Structure 1
Amino acid sequence: MASSSVSTALCTLLVLIPTVPLLTYVIGLLLPASHIVSRKRTFAGISQADLWHILVDVQNYPTWRPRVTGIDITENTTTNDTENNTEQQHGGDRIVFQENNTRNRTIVVIHVHQILHSRLLRILQEIPTFSGSWTFELDELSLASVDGEAVSLKITQQGVIKKPMLRVMHMLILGLHRRIDLFLNDLERKLKQDQQGSSAVEGRGQVTQSTITNIGANVAPSEVIEDTDKKQSSTSLLPEVKDKQPPMEKPSSLQQHDLDASINNINHNNGWDMISEIYERAPLSASSSTSSLKKQQ
């Protein structure tokens, strides 16, 4: 009995192993090869022109798309003319580049600027598993619940999956919009990091300004005036000293008459002669002259 049950299980496995892939292949044949799916997301705090610049700046894709390891631009016919916002032809502004991913695969991509700041066409070169294009549609919004600017981004994928088994995997398991969701998630992460970085810079600037304001507020006005007075006094010390010296008062006519009379009486009584006093007096020594000068001072 045991041997018969084991043999039955083995036979069942031998039948199911080739049946499952065959059934999957048949289901894939019944599914349509082409598909159209779209995803839409709103980004706040960014202008339509800034979001457009991020999408067309393919050289910086590896900095915010983790699955992209490198970009090699092979053709670039874009212009810097932003004044003309009319619809552009496919032969106009476009960029062709090779996108290298983490699976060591290289995909050739063509970006065509159909309408400046509004419509971008991304065409993928045909590969064995997938071929098709993405259409980016940007629309600026004014939402009451959002402070500042807001932009809605809609990505429409028109693709063709040629292999039937891959159709089943993408349509029933992975989802046809998987690549779009990955791209939008990476873009949203980048915008949040940029906004946090700019907020941090503004916060540091506000802290520095408030610190300077507090320092200025803590300095008393009297200290500022005193410091200014010190600077002025240091630069104009000598003139102030001269100005502070009291002016010599001239004697009145009555005082001058009394003084002259006193001198005449002294000269008459003592026989003092000014000429003889100057020429006949013995010369003073250096020490005595110095001491007399000090006393006079």
Structure 2
Amino acid sequence: MRSLLRKGHGMLWTLVGLVLVFLGLIGIVILLGVVIPRSHTATSRIVVPAAQQDVWNTLIDFEHHPEWRKMLEKIEQAQPIDGKPVWIEYSKFGRMPMQVDEMTEPSLLRMRIADDKLPFGGTWTFELSTAPDDAQRSTLQITEDGVISNPIYRVMSRFAMGYHAVMDQYLKDMATKYGATTPKPEHVSK
């Protein structure tokens, strides 16, 4: 009987030890997240095999983005804010309201996440120009000026996904829409 109690007692201490290790790891992740800056800037660009005006038209046709953006399931139009377009993007990651902040055809689009309650936010600035070597190709650059309030999200964004992951997928999807077979975005900044 005593040997059974000792075995149970040993298993209890093993379980307590595992729980403490798990809590310690969570604490380290949170501490690391507190040290990582809340704000970041990252820039990626790609050459799209299409004329600037064609890429611009695709860029601002938000309603049809799910037809070519792999991560996007659907778009829902929302009420404009201050006369600027607002829509909600739905993906496997959830729901994200977006708003146009600035638009200068056919070269500049700045949009932002229109929900201050999310654990992250910020803007994407799209800069579009004709490729220097060919008027039938365009250079599309995205700059993300992001803010991540949740320390755990900061760790995930910095080390698991990277700040470039979502915009790189966007750029690949845009280039693929116009026939690129192996598009590879260039990271202009960290």
- Note the residue ranges of structure 2 that are not aligned, 5 or more in a row: 1-6, 181-190
Following superposition, the deviation at residue 43 of structure 1 comes to 1.4
One-letter amino acid matched to 1:170: S
Residue in structure 2 matched with residue 189 of structure 1 by the alignment: 176
Flag the structure with higher strand content: 2
- Please name the residue that 2:100 is paired with: 111
Q: 1:138 aligns with which of 109, 128, 139?
A: 128
Query: CA contact under 8 A between 2:47 and 2:175: conserved in structure 1?
Result: no
Q: Which residue of 2 aligns with 1:19?
A: 24
What's the CA shift string for 1:61-98, capped at 9, x where partnerless? Answer: 11112332222223469xxxxxxxxxxxxx67x42112
Structure 1 runs of 4+ off > 3 angstroms? 3-12
Query: Corresponding residue for 2:70?
Result: 66
Asked if the contact 1:107/1:124 (under 8 Å) is kept, the reply is yes
Q: What corresponds to 1:96 in structure 2?
A: 86
CA distance in 1, matches of 2:75, 2:45: 26
TM-score by length of 1: 0.52
Q: TM-score, normalised by structure 2?
A: 0.79
Q: Residue 44 of structure 2 aligns to which amino acid in structure 1? A: R
Q: Deviations over 1:121-146 (max 9, x none)?
A: 11112342211110000111232xx6
Counterpart for residue 140 of structure 2: 153
- Per-residue Cα deviation, 1:100-158 (whole angstroms, up to 9, x for no partner): 2234x322111244321011011112342211110000111232xx6x52211110001
Structure with the higher fraction of residues in helix conformation: 1
Paired with 2:79 and 2:13, the residues of 1 have a C-alpha distance of: 63
1:166 equivalent among 131, 150, 153: 153
Q: Which residue of 1 aligns with 2:187?
A: none
Matched residue SS, 1:28: helix
Q: Following the alignment from structure 2 to structure 1, what is the Cα–Cα distance between the partners of residues 80 and 154?
A: 34
- Contact 1:142 1:149 (8 Å CA) reproduced: no
Cα contact 2:46–2:140 (8 A) shared by 1: yes
Percent identical residues: 25
With over 3 angstroms needed to count, the CA separation of the structure-2 counterparts of 1:191 and 1:127, relative to structure 1, is farther
> May I ask how many residue pairs the two structures share in their alignment?
173
CA contact (8 A) 2:87 2:99 kept: yes
- Which residue does 2:42 correspond to in 1? 37
What is the alpha-carbon distance in structure 1 between the residues aligned to residue 12 and residue 62 of structure 2? 59
1:153-197 alpha-carbon deviations (Å, 9 max, x no partner):
11000111111111111101211111111211221221118xxxx
Give deviations 1:220-270, integer Å, cap 9, x for gaps: xxxxxxxxxxxxxxxxxxxxxxxxxxxxxxxxxxxxxxxxxxxxxxxxxxx
Using CA pairs under 8 Å that are at least 6 residues apart, name the structure with larger relative contact order, 1 or 2: 2
- Unaligned 5+ runs, structure 1: 78-90, 194-297
The CA deviation at 1:57 is: 0.5
Tell me which residue corresponds to 2:110.
121
Backbone CA RMSD of aligned residues: 2.6
- Once residues 31 and 112 of structure 1 are traced to their aligned partners in structure 2, the CA distance between those partners, rounded to angstroms, is 27
